[in-house]
Amino acid sequence: MTPPDATDLGVLDQPAARRLLNLWNGQQAAYVAHRDHRFEAMLDVLRLHSPHDLTILDLACGPGAITDRVLAGFPHASAVAVDYDPILLRVARGALAGYGSRAEVHDVDLVADGWEEALAGRTVDAVLSSTALHWLSPEQLLRVYRAAARLLPAGGVLLNADHLRYDESTPSLREIARRHDAWVQQEAFAAGALSYSDWYAQAARHPELAGLAVERERRFADRPPQALAPLDFHLAALRAAGFAEVGTVWQYLDDHVVFARR
Ligand SMILES: C[S@@+](CC[C@H](N)C(=O)[O-])C[C@H]1O[C@@H](n2cnc3c(N)ncnc32)[C@H](O)[C@@H]1O
């Protein structure tokens, strides 16, 4: 039996959800050195390329970091934010509540066939994602890129920000990137940032979220970390998925914002 949409089972009040979103942003910045810069690059592409009243699809939205930035920066924009973690879905729903009907949050497993049916045929102008699609195997990633291409009209863009690890052909760059990650984390934690697991411990202090831990565990029990696909794989997969123009709009060591236009 399909479990009910976890986000329908309770509500987290908006101030608590906003606080958890802020804490999330702090902990993610410990793992992604220039996270704000990559978001700025994504938003600049939207400013320069997309309609001002655009609709975005935020893939694997977590607690809503991308959607929050887009809706705050584009007063006429709307967003459909999707994720599969019941705790993050509930935080996203609370954190984005202030945007009213401009923000929709859906319980979606990107690995499941036909996940895009959650969008009920609506058109999106841009598909955005950050620090998330590395959870997918290469085959699953290609399927998600194909689905994104089907959702976008001609001219629509996909922007995916993630660490796209260097492979064995560039061992020095790989080592520099690895040491840079370790260094950034060390500095951030010393300055008081939460770790990923600390954040979930904070979330569990809220009874509305603590009760979702078992369902979260169940959903992700069979999702081992994937071998990370390099930049070349993403670009080739996007071309194969039907995007006409692919490239990068931002890079710092192995951290990239990949761009694709229909
Ligand atoms: C590190 S978080 C990034 C969240 C957000 N995009 C950000 O940058 O703050 C990775 C996200 O991927 C989501 N995720 C992983 N596998 C997924 C799947 N199969 N379907 C939907 N979301 C998934 C997780 O639940 C989590 O929210």
* 220 CA to centre of own chain: 16
Q: What is the pLDDT of residue 224?
A: 84
Q: Inform me whether the pLDDT recorded for 5 exceeds 70.
A: no
CB-based contacts of 178, cutoff 8 Å, min separation 6:
none
pLDDT digits (tens, 9 = 90+) for 169-189: 999 999 999 999 999 999 999
Mean per-residue pLDDT for 222-232?
Answer: 87
Cα separations in angstroms, 210 against 19, 197, 216, 240: 16, 14, 10, 42
In short, whether 116's Cβ falls inside 6 Å of ligand 1 is: no
* 91 CA to centre of own chain: 14
Residues 71 and 99: beta-carbon distance below 8 Å: yes
In short, whether 74's Cβ falls inside 6 Å of ligand 1 is: no
* 43 CA to centre of own chain: 14
d(CA 262, CA 260) in angstroms, rounded, equals 7
Residue 85, by phi and psi: left (phi above 0), alpha (psi -120 to 50) or beta? beta
Q: What is the pLDDT of residue 156?
A: 98
Q: What is the pLDDT of residue 170?
A: 94
The count of other CB atoms within 10 Å of the CB of residue 97 is: 16
Mean per-residue pLDDT for 191-220?
Answer: 96
Mean per-residue pLDDT for 48-60?
Answer: 98
Q: Inform me whether the pLDDT recorded for 43 exceeds 60.
A: yes
β-strand pairing of 103-107 with 78-83: parallel
Residue 229 binned pLDDT confidence (cut-offs 50, 70, 90): confident
User: How many angstroms is it from 133 CA to the middle of ligand 1?
Assistant: 7
In short, whether 99's Cβ falls inside 6 Å of ligand 1 is: no
In short, whether 77's Cβ falls inside 6 Å of ligand 1 is: no
Instruction: Say what percent of the chain tops pLDDT 70.
Output: 96
Q: What are φ and ψ of residue 56, in 5° steps?
A: -105, 155
* 126 token code pair: 């841009």
pLDDT digits (tens, 9 = 90+) for 106-164: 999 999 999 999 888 888 999 999 999 999 999 999 999 999 999 999 999 999 999 99
Q: What is the pLDDT of residue 65?
A: 98
Task: Evaluate the CA torsion angle 37, 93, 137, 70 in order and state its sign.
Answer: negative
Mean pLDDT of the chain: 94
Mean per-residue pLDDT for 209-225?
Answer: 93
In the chain, domain spans: 6-261
* 234 token code pair: 């993403």
d(CA 82, CA 7) in angstroms, rounded, equals 11
User: How many angstroms is it from 61 CA to the middle of ligand 1?
Assistant: 6
Which residue, chain included where needed, has tokens 């009760």? 211
In short, whether 83's Cβ falls inside 6 Å of ligand 1 is: yes
User: How many angstroms is it from 83 CA to the middle of ligand 1?
Assistant: 6
Q: Inform me whether the pLDDT recorded for 6 exceeds 60.
A: no
Q: What is the CA radius of gyration of the chain?
A: 18
Q: What is the pLDDT of residue 64?
A: 98
Provide the whole-model pTM: 0.95
Mean per-residue pLDDT for 19-36?
Answer: 97
Cα separations in angstroms, 237 against 41, 123, 200: 22, 22, 33
Residues 118 and 106: beta-carbon distance below 8 Å: yes
Q: What are φ and ψ of residue 252, in 5° steps?
A: -140, 115
**Closest of 45, 227, 239 to residue 126, by C-alpha:** 45
Q: What is the pLDDT of residue 221?
A: 94
Q: Inform me whether the pLDDT recorded for 3 exceeds 50.
A: no
| CATH 3.60.21.10 holds for 6-261 | no
